[in-house]
Amino acid sequence: MSYTNYETGAPIADTKAPDGPIADRWDRRRFEAKLVNPANRRKHTVIVVGTGLAGGSAGATLAEQGYHVVQFCYQDSPRRAHSIAAQGGINAAKNYRNDGDSIHRLFYDTVKGGDFRARESNVHRLAQISVEIIDQCVAQGVPFAREYGGLLDTRSFGGVQVSRTFYARGQTGQQLLLGAYQALSRQIAAGNVEMHPRTEMLDLVVVDGRARGIVARDLITGRIDTYFADAVVLATGGYGNVFYLSTNAMNSNATAVWRAHRRGAYFANPCFTQIHPTCIPRTGDHQSKLTLMSESLRNDGRIWVPKAQGDTRPANEIPEDERDYYLERIYPSFGNLVPRDIASRAAKNVCDEGRGVGPGGQGVYLDFADAIRRMGRDKVEEKYGNLFDMYERITAENPYEVPMRIYPAVHYTMGGLWVDYDLQTSVPGLFAIGEANFSDHGANRLGASALMQGLADGYFVLPSTINDYLARHPHAEAVDAEHPAVVEALAETEDRLSLLLSVDGDRTPDSFHREIGELMWEFCGMARTDAGLRKALDRIPQIREEFWRRIKVPGTGEEFNQSLEKANRIVDYLELAELMCLDALHRSESCGGHFREESQTADGEAERRDGEFSYAAAWEFTGTGAAPVLHKEDLVFDYVHPTQRSYA
């Protein structure tokens, strides 16, 4: 049966969110959830995979509550998780500015920003918790920016009309992560968290229908082991690296979530990927990753390309009347400040027309000449100095003299493992938090909301909801290492790695990663079409087949082997890519980060089709290359009524 010929299975529903007034739901859920007696908590083991904002905060908090936590990360230290690279800030409805912000407004903005593809209950809870996050982080010593009076400074971010974004210069993610890492370190020292750095989860162990452990490989010795627990929490981040080039860390990967999906966890909305408009363009085929520049640059920079195709003159020699400030031309009222997806798509369009600038024509100018003239160089330097320095270090071009070149890049994935209000996946006992789950951002994430969600999940939501699950399964028997499910998971992993090592072909892991990434960028990137997605869906199984014929992985499995790590991650990208394309194909509407060329208004804007697509698409795995089963979770909007976006 062809992969695209999927079946629609039983609808899926979130059975955990209480009904009633939205503002009371989180309180009610916490009250209704069963609790574990504090004296019994240490008898429960919880595995947490990942140590980013979500995983680090969850591990620390669960350990503080008295659970025995066994935690994993592939990095050499939990402090290096990629949350550390987040620049902008973290939203919270503190209303310190008295500018009309409130929990309800943050809730409203997030649902609307997500283009009405997120669950109201979850988003409202997120907005409620946002204020507690700031309190917690300040108490931990996170050095947020402050005013001269000693109070916290906030700024407006991502085009919202209130100043609710807390920040620590351009390194907010770093500072928040270090806060969580320090809390986690305290619990490691106390013996409440057993930390396994440089250990990568390679499979999930499901025994009698419940998640009971993982298979993981010690990256130094190569030893593959099983670890058992009463519940497993995945906090392994997003899957943007399926595109090869992205702003993700080089080793961020989808293996944990994909293996969980293969073991029964539904994968929701995989096609919802966010492409960030202001990244530094690639310089050639050697490019290994892309670097984001804060989108605050669009507040003062003007975006343009030459009017003529193939104009190779240096930017400063192109006269004013031969420049096309296309965002200002197409969107006169918002100009350069249109939302991320619109800015990204417009850049792609002008480059597709052959008017792109820089190496390979994959770039547009972001020009500060006007800003420097208007505000003076000093003011510009004060505002953007560190970003300009970063740009100059990478490109060796001085943005005070010549316009910056920018191009969109994959940045965040809104899709992920389907979870209910308790953040539990469709596999009982398996939880997913942070970017790894699909929940709160709908089809498009607002700026400064990722940090908020990761910490909300890890510090506050999961530690409350996981109690309910553990309390309902109080006397779980120890998992027998000889249980057929355990033996099978271990053997499958070992076989997969042995196979990778034994092919001894003639292509490197990176060459395959680049190939699948380019294919995804072209057909499942900024703009998607039925024909393009079908082409990609034809091509992916061929690449997969070629992969298993031609992959070359040197060395052995019983040692530190970075090629083997890479190759194994690509195995999963080659399957995940297929599901992303199928999801993008089936969702023939445009919404948020998902733009289908077939579904646009007369003036080229994304056209959402709520009648057909107001649901989260949760996919059930049926086998490699076999058509998955689609389970729809209907989205109901009682508080924020869907409207079509317009920025013209």
Partner 1 sequence: MKLRLRVWRQKNADAPGAMVTYEVDGISRDMSFLEMLDTLNEELILRGEEPVAFDHDCREGICGACSLVINGDAHGPERTTTCQLHMRSFEDGDTIDVEPWRASAFPVVKDLVVDRSAFDRIIQAGGYISVPTGSAPEAHATPVPKADADAAFEHAECIGCGACVAACPNGSAMLFTSAKINHLNVLPQGGPERETRVLDMVAAMDEEGFGGCTLTGECATACPKGIPLPSITTMNREWLRATRKVKR
Cα–Cα distance between 91 and 437 in angstroms, integer?
19
Q: Does 244 bind partner 1 (CB under 8 A)?
A: no
**What residues from 388 to 407 belong to the interface with partner 1 (CB under 8 A)?**
390, 393-396
CB nearer to partner 1: pick between 353 and 506: 506
CB nearer to partner 1: pick between 177 and 206: 177
Q: How many residues bind partner 1 (CB under 8 A)?
A: 81
Q: Which one of 23, 33, 138, 369 is in contact with partner 1 (CB under 8 A)? A: 138
Q: Which one of 463, 517, 592, 628 is in contact with partner 1 (CB under 8 A)? A: 463
Cα–Cα distance between 127 and 120 in angstroms, integer?
11
Q: Does 313 bind partner 1 (CB under 8 A)?
A: no
Q: Does 349 bind partner 1 (CB under 8 A)?
A: no
Sheet with 629-634, edge to edge strand ranges: 7-8, 629-634, 615-620, 267-268, 416-417
DSSP per residue, 271-289: T-EEEEEEEPPP-STT---
Q: Does 305 bind partner 1 (CB under 8 A)?
A: no
Any long-range contacts for 515-518 (C-beta under 8 Å, 24+ apart)?
Answer: 515/543, 516/242, 516/244, 516/540, 516/543, 516/570, 516/573, 516/574, 516/577, 517/242, 517/243, 517/244, 517/245, 518/244
Q: Does 152 bind partner 1 (CB under 8 A)?
A: yes
CB nearer to partner 1: pick between 76 and 352: 76
Stretch that binds partner 1, among 6-14, 268-276, 280-288, 633-641 (CB under 8 A): 280-288
Residue 166 Cβ vs partner 1, minimum distance, rounded to whole Å: 9
Q: Does 488 bind partner 1 (CB under 8 A)?
A: no
**What residues from 81 to 100 belong to the interface with partner 1 (CB under 8 A)?**
82, 84-85, 94, 96
Cα–Cα distance between 415 and 511 in angstroms, integer?
26
Q: Does 559 bind partner 1 (CB under 8 A)?
A: yes
Q: Do the Cβ atoms of 249 and 423 come closer than 8 Å?
A: no
Residue 76 Cβ vs partner 1, minimum distance, rounded to whole Å: 6
Name the token pair of 604: 């080229």
**What residues from 34 to 73 belong to the interface with partner 1 (CB under 8 A)?**
57, 60-61, 64
Cα–Cα distance between 27 and 55 in angstroms, integer?
23
Q: Does 183 bind partner 1 (CB under 8 A)?
A: yes
Q: Of the candidates 356, 270, 194, which has an alpha carbon nearest to the alpha carbon of residue 533?
A: 270
Sequence-distant (6+) residues with CB within 8 A of 448 are: 88, 89, 90, 91, 157, 158, 165, 167, 172
**What residues from 584 to 623 belong to the interface with partner 1 (CB under 8 A)?**
none
CB nearer to partner 1: pick between 315 and 618: 315
Q: Does 175 bind partner 1 (CB under 8 A)?
A: yes
Q: Does 135 bind partner 1 (CB under 8 A)?
A: yes
Cα–Cα distance between 199 and 555 in angstroms, integer?
18
Would you call 340 a catalytic residue per the annotation? Answer: yes
CB nearer to partner 1: pick between 401 and 558: 558
Give CA separation, 451 vs 156, 286, 290, 412, 436, in Å.
Answer: 16, 31, 20, 12, 13
**What are the beta bridge partners of residue 606?**
600
Cα–Cα distance between 455 and 55 in angstroms, integer?
9
Q: Which one of 45, 110, 136, 614 is in contact with partner 1 (CB under 8 A)? A: 136
Residue 77 Cβ vs partner 1, minimum distance, rounded to whole Å: 5
Gap between the terminal Cα atoms of the chain = 44
Q: Does 11 bind partner 1 (CB under 8 A)?
A: no
Catalytic residue among 282, 340, 445, 645: 340
Q: Cα torsion at 523, 529, 531, 533 (round to 10°)?
A: 40
90-91 and 165-166 as β-strands: parallel, antiparallel, unpaired? Answer: antiparallel
Q: Which one of 1, 13, 250, 626 is in contact with partner 1 (CB under 8 A)? A: 250
Stretch that binds partner 1, among 283-291, 328-336, 577-585, 605-613 (CB under 8 A): 283-291
**What residues from 189 to 228 belong to the interface with partner 1 (CB under 8 A)?**
189, 195, 197, 220
CA contacts within 13 A on the Cβ side of 543: 26
Cα–Cα distance between 89 and 107 in angstroms, integer?
17
Q: Which one of 75, 122, 437, 467 is in contact with partner 1 (CB under 8 A)? A: 75
CB nearer to partner 1: pick between 333 and 562: 562
**What are the beta bridge partners of residue 581?**
none
CB nearer to partner 1: pick between 404 and 524: 404
CB nearer to partner 1: pick between 64 and 546: 64
| Active-site residue list | 340
